[in-house]
Structure 1
Amino acid sequence: MEGEPTAELIRAQLRRLRLHAELSQEEFGKLVHFSGSQVSAVELGQRPLDRFFLKRADEVLGTGGLLTSLLKLAERDGQPSWFRPWLEAERQAQQMRCYQPTLIPGLLQTENYARAVIRTDNTISDEEVEKRLAVRMDRQSILTGENPPVYVAVIEEAVLRRAEEGFHGLMAEQITRLIECSECPHISIHIIPTDVSMHVGLVGPFALARAGDGGWVGHLEHQLGGVVVDTDDEVAILLSRWESVRSEALSHRQSTGLMKKAVTSWT
C-alpha cells in the first residue's frame, strides 16, 4: 500500500504487541476471528491491512486504539501529494467554507453516497474504493471532534434532485444526513435554488479554510486532482466568489425546508 513506511510500522507493532502478550499467531487469530495463517500474512505484508482486523487487535491487545490510529496515518500518507496540504489545512481550520455545484461536499457525505461517488471511477479496484472511502469518512471527524471549525456549505438544489432509479433511497438517506448536520450549531448548509440560473460559482467547486492565525487557504478540484491556493491575490478572488455564491443561496430556515421537501420527493 502507499504510505509503506507507516504500514511497516503497523506490522512491526502488531507483532511486538502480540509477542508481548505471549500469544501465538493461532491463539491471537482465534481472539480476533482470523486464522493463524491470516495473522501471519498480515504481519509479513502478504495481506493488506484490514480496518476490522486492526480494530479487533486493538481491543484484544489493549492498545488504546494505537493500530487503527496508525492505519489512519498510513491512509493519509497514501493520499496524492496535491491533496496532503489541503488535508492539513482542514485539520487546522477554525473556519471552513465550501461551494459544490455538482455533489454533496465530502465532509457531509454518508458512507453509501461517498462509496457511490468514488465508484464512478471505473479504473480503480474495489479494495482501492474502500481505502478512499475510509479516508473520506475519517476526514469527517473534523466536524465531530472537540472544538470543530465553523463550517458553512453552499450546495445547488440540482444536487439534491439528481438520482436515477435505484438511488432514491440513497439520496433520501443523504439529504436526511444534511438536515441533521444543519442542526449542529457549528454547521450551516445553504441551498441555491434551481431558479437561480446563472452565477459565478458554476465555473466550479471550491473550498476555503481559515487557520487560527487568521490566514485563508483555498482548494480547487478538477478532473485530474486538485490544487491548493494560498497566494493573497488568488485567495482574495475565492473569498469574493464565496460572498457571491453565498448571496445567491437561501437562508438557513429556507434551505432546511427545501431539503425536507427533497427528502419527501425521494421517499
Structure 2
Amino acid sequence: MPDVPNPVAAFIVREIRRGRGAAGMTQEAFGRGAGFSASHVSAVEGGTRALTADFIRGADRALNSGGLFERLAGELGTPSWFLPWLDAERGATQLRYFEPNLIPGLLQSEAYARAVLRLDPCLTDEEVDRRVASRLERQAVLTRESPPRLVVVVDEGAIRRVGDEAEKLMAEQLCHVLACAERPNISIHVIPADAGLHAGLSGPLSLAHMPDGSWIGHLESQLGGDVVERPADLDTLFERWESVRTEALPRKQSLDLIKEVANQWT
C-alpha cells in the first residue's frame, strides 16, 4: 500500500470493513458516504487497490468515527499530517527535495533512518520500528515501473553531520546515496560549504509534479508539516528551489564530494 506499511494498511482496511459491517452498510452505501464508488471500495477491501489518505478520511466520514482511522494510521506508522504528502509523492511524475541538515527520507538507509527517528524522545522503540518500516516502504516509489524523476539538493552539512561514534553509520549512508545516484531517474546535488549563506538555510522543502501538470509543495517543521497548493505559495517555493539549485554543484562534482566525505569515515 502506498501510504502506510503493508501490515498496517491491511489492519486498517480490516477495521474499516468491520466498521462498515457493524453499521449495516453495503459497499455502495459506504462509498456514497466516503466519496468513492462501490467498485473502488471493493478493490480496497480486497487488497487489489491501494489504501490512500483520501480513502481513510472518507471512511471516517462515512462511519462518523471522529477521525479514528486517520489516527490509527498515525499511531501505527505514519503521522496523519504526512499522509496528504505521501499521496502526492506516490502519484508524482517528478519529485524535488531540498534538505539543509539531513539526507532526505527517500534516500535514507535503514540504520540512518533509525538513528534520525531515535532523536525524538517521545517515540517508543515500537514506534521507531514502525516508522522505519514506513520510511523504507516509501522508497519503493523509486524502483517501481515508470518511477518519478527525483532531484535532490542537500547542503554539504547534511553529508558531514555525524553523531558520537557514528562515522561508520554515516559512511554506510553516503555509500547508499551513491548507489541510489546510479539509477537513471535520480540526480543528487550538493551545495558546498564555501557557498556561504543561501536561501535554503531557512528550512527544507519538497515539490511534486503531478500527472495533470499541477505542482504540490510540502514544508516540514518541528510540529509537523503542511501541504502547499496555493499558487502564490508555490511560486515562493519555486523561487527558493531555483536559488538552492543554482548554488549546488553539478552532478558529477557533487558525487565526487560525497565519495570524498564517505572515504573520510571509512
TM bracket (short chain): 0.7 to 0.9
Normalising by the residue count of structure 1, what TM-score does the alignment of the two structures yield? 0.73
User: Given the alignment of the two structures, is residue 157 of structure 1 paired with residue 153 of structure 2, yes or no?
Assistant: no
The amino acid that maps onto 1:126 is D
User: Given the alignment of the two structures, is residue 6 of structure 1 paired with residue 2 of structure 2, yes or no?
Assistant: no
After superposition, the Cα gap between the structure-2 partners of 1:178 and 1:5, relative to the gap in structure 1 and judged at 3 Å, is closer
TM-superposed deviation, 1:9 = 6.9
After superposition, the Cα gap between the structure-2 partners of 1:266 and 1:89, relative to the gap in structure 1 and judged at 3 Å, is same
- 1:124 aligns to what? 123
8 Å CA contact retained: 2:12, 2:73: no
User: Given the alignment of the two structures, is residue 265 of structure 1 paired with residue 261 of structure 2, yes or no?
Assistant: no
The amino acid that maps onto 2:134 is V
Question: Matches of 1:199 and 1:167 in 2, distance apart?
Answer: 28
- 1:183 aligns to what? 182
- 1:137 aligns to what? 136
Question: Matches of 1:221 and 1:5 in 2, distance apart?
Answer: 26
- 1:234 aligns to what? 233
Question: Matches of 1:211 and 1:161 in 2, distance apart?
Answer: 33
The amino acid that maps onto 1:123 is C
Matched residue SS, 2:80: coil
Per-residue CA distance 1:160-207 (angstroms, 9 max, x = gap) = 111134211110010001111111110000000111110111110000
TM-superposed deviation, 1:122 = 1.2
Question: Matches of 1:265 and 1:176 in 2, distance apart?
Answer: 12
Question: Matches of 2:248 and 2:124 in 1, distance apart?
Answer: 38
Question: Matches of 2:16 and 2:261 in 1, distance apart?
Answer: 47
Superposition pairs for residues 31-180 of structure 1, below 5 Å? 77-78=73-74, 79-180=78-179
Superposition pairs for residues 172-211 of structure 1, below 5 Å? 172-211=171-210
TM-superposed deviation, 1:216 = 0.5
- 1:29 aligns to what? none
The amino acid that maps onto 1:249 is A
Superposition pairs for residues 205-224 of structure 1, below 5 Å? 205-224=204-223
- 2:63 aligns to what? none
Question: Matches of 1:117 and 1:164 in 2, distance apart?
Answer: 10
TM-superposed deviation, 1:5 = 4.0
The amino acid that maps onto 2:183 is C
- 2:28 aligns to what? none
Per-residue CA distance 1:40-68 (angstroms, 9 max, x = gap) = xxxxxxxxxxxxxxxxxxxxxxxxxx69x
Give the greater-gyration-radius structure (CA).
Answer: 1
- 2:247 aligns to what? 248
Per-residue CA distance 1:7-58 (angstroms, 9 max, x = gap) = 54799xxxxxxxxxxxxxxxxxxxxxxxxxxxxxxxxxxxxxxxxxxxxxxx
Question: Matches of 2:82 and 2:161 in 1, distance apart?
Answer: 27
Matched residue SS, 1:82: helix
Matched residue SS, 1:147: coil
Per-residue CA distance 1:125-161 (angstroms, 9 max, x = gap) = 1000011111111000111111100000000111111
RMSD: 2.8
Per-residue CA distance 1:211-245 (angstroms, 9 max, x = gap) = 11110000000000000000111111101110110
Normalising by the residue count of structure 2, what TM-score does the alignment of the two structures yield? 0.74
Question: Matches of 2:177 and 2:109 in 1, distance apart?
Answer: 9
5+ long unaligned stretches in structure 2 = 1-6, 19-46, 57-68
Question: Matches of 2:17 and 2:131 in 1, distance apart?
Answer: 19
8 Å CA contact retained: 2:106, 2:138: yes
Question: Matches of 1:127 and 1:188 in 2, distance apart?
Answer: 33
- 2:24 aligns to what? none
Matched residue SS, 2:227: strand
